[in-house]
Chain A
């Protein structure tokens, strides 16, 4: 009898762990525990700092993607925003040819220009999607092509360096970058879970028609979501540019699938209405842990890609298992 009881309680605990927001975090912990013994240097403080430093900008971009995905959209233009903002900021403030070279205003002005530009691209996406009822995938795909093309053309393929040290510190010094990313994360979290905007965003993602009939300003909210995504991508551009100390038109060009992948692994739905900041954080963490450990394992590039695919699949498998378990045991 008691065996049955403990079995039942064990099951409820397991079910609760599976259902919680922290599932992907547990997955990360298990992964670290499983991989650390075989991976030299994986479980070291240095490495933790490395992971943190590379995780932050990705997390910031993924925050914006989360907002857009919740509204039932998708933003493929983030990579081009990162590149475009990176070179525009660098054009404003670099020490050689910058418009504001050596001025004390250079750094703040550059940051303002970058964020504004990100917001502008986001607004363009949002307006095209809501006012002209165009599919988000194509709008943001076209924006990606156009703006990254524009960035390469503006620089004639050349990267720009000699950026002010104060600016480089924003992304280069992990502590500062951590502060910025945390602020962004907390901001978006409060926005999603506590604010009117958040409620509206989820409602639109669930059913835009119902939202409209219930008096939600659908177009305005969706445009804002894309603007936020653009601004957050610009913020990530600040971090990335600071890390590499260079304004480059192709910065972040390869992270698109990583961003969407991490967000979706975290649990955000591609069909809208579902997503949380914590989920995204854990999704990004998981992806970065996998990347980093595979890298330290000194696998060849071939094996590395294969193993990465397998790990993603495994994580998804666990996720689908837990959804089924949760369904039958809650």
Chain B
């Protein structure tokens, strides 16, 4: 809501140039290069928009690049940033390893680089990472779902929608799910592990087939909220889409906290979702660049604790939930 006002007042500054009235540590506006790996889910779009809005508010021009899942292209893009002499780089790397040469290139040009949402592996290359812990947050979310499942007093058959097997986040969430499962085998038995390749159609078809094989599935976890429309469609066609607390309700859990998830929580269909604090991460990334430029000490890893939103705490957490903000708009 506040964003539009800012955009208007800052409009001339967006052009950058020497006449800008934007304050910055040494008087000139900083050019920040933002390189994303993908913009193909709500979550990344929201993060991207959050960074963009934050930078705009500060009057810093931004260069953008999206590599569409290609680690090599990302390397090219960051090199292009360096060619353009940016003052800082915010990077969503493809994975923990392919980003190392990118970081090295930035180090060599002494440009501060912040990894957004995905950490790099340990190495000599220096960077700051702002991360939500996929593993821990998923574990926490699934643990909540388990406790809900226990309350019903019966054993549940479960399906998990796994993301792209070559995506590090997808793997982290899968592992978090498995970790939460440990010791709870008596409560939940996984009867379907559906690889979705982050594709809605595959998710939908896979879930329909899983429900075909096990019509009594009553527990579904998805590695990303953006697959919820597919899940809802599959559940509806199986006649199993019921509100929380009504008989036949399928326990649903997700990750990300997008607008659809918010809506489903509000309507009482969704049990819980793990939310990453996008606004916190955006703010921290830019602050880290400023601090690095100012020579202040910055920790190598800044954690976004994230939080689980569920039926019990929806009202109090909604304000921090990026999906809720979008849904309200």
Contact = CB atoms under 8 A, between A and B. Distances in A.
**A–B direct touch, CB within 8 Å, in complex?**
yes
Interface of A: 40-41, 44, 46-47, 50, 53-54, 57, 152, 156-161, 172, 240, 243-246, 248-255, 291-292, 295-296, 298, 300-301
Contacts of A300: 64
Contacts of A253: 69-70, 166
Interface in B70-110: 70-73, 75-77, 79-80, 82-85, 95-98, 100-101
Given A244-B71, A254-B70, A300-B64, A292 B76 contact: yes
A296 B84 contact: yes
A42 to B, nearest CB: 9
Interface residues of B, number: 34
Contacts of B64: 298, 300-301
B187 interface: no
A160 B64 CA distance: 28
A152 B121 contact: no
A244 B76 contact: no
B14 to A, nearest CB: 12
Interface string B48-66: 0000000000000001111
A115 B54 CA distance: 48
A255 B83 contact: no
Contact of B171 (A158, A243, A250): A158
B235 interface: no
Contacts of B72: 54, 57, 240, 243-244, 251-252, 255
B165 interface: yes
B267 interface: no
B83 A46 contact: yes
A41 B83 contact: yes
B101 A295 contact: no
A248 B99 CA distance: 12
A250 B164 CA distance: 11
A301 B98 CA distance: 21
Nearest to B62: A298
B101 A172 contact: yes
A50 B79 contact: yes
B98 A157 contact: no
B138 to A, nearest CB: 15
Given A41-B80, A44-B83, A255-B70, 12 more contacts: A41-B85, A50-B83, A54-B72, A158-B171, A253-B69, A254-B73, A291-B73, A295-B65, A295-B76, A295-B77, A296-B80, A301-B68
A89 to B, nearest CB: 14
B39 interface: yes
Determine which residue in A172, A253, A296 has the highest number of CB atoms from chain B within 10 A of its CB, and name it: A296
A40 to B, nearest CB: 6
A87 to B, nearest CB: 11
A72 B37 CA distance: 36
Closest 5 CB pairs of A and B: A246-B97, A250-B166, A159-B97, A301-B66, A41-B83
A54 B17 CA distance: 31
Nearest to A148: B166
A157 B63 CA distance: 31
Nearest to A301: B66
A141 to B, nearest CB: 16
23 contacts: A41-B83, A50-B80, A50-B83, A54-B75, A57-B72, A157-B170, A158-B168, A158-B171, A159-B98, A161-B97, A244-B101, A248-B71, A248-B95, A249-B166, A251-B72, A254-B68, A254-B69, A254-B73, A292-B76, A296-B80, A296-B84, A301-B66, A301-B68
A44 B100 CA distance: 25
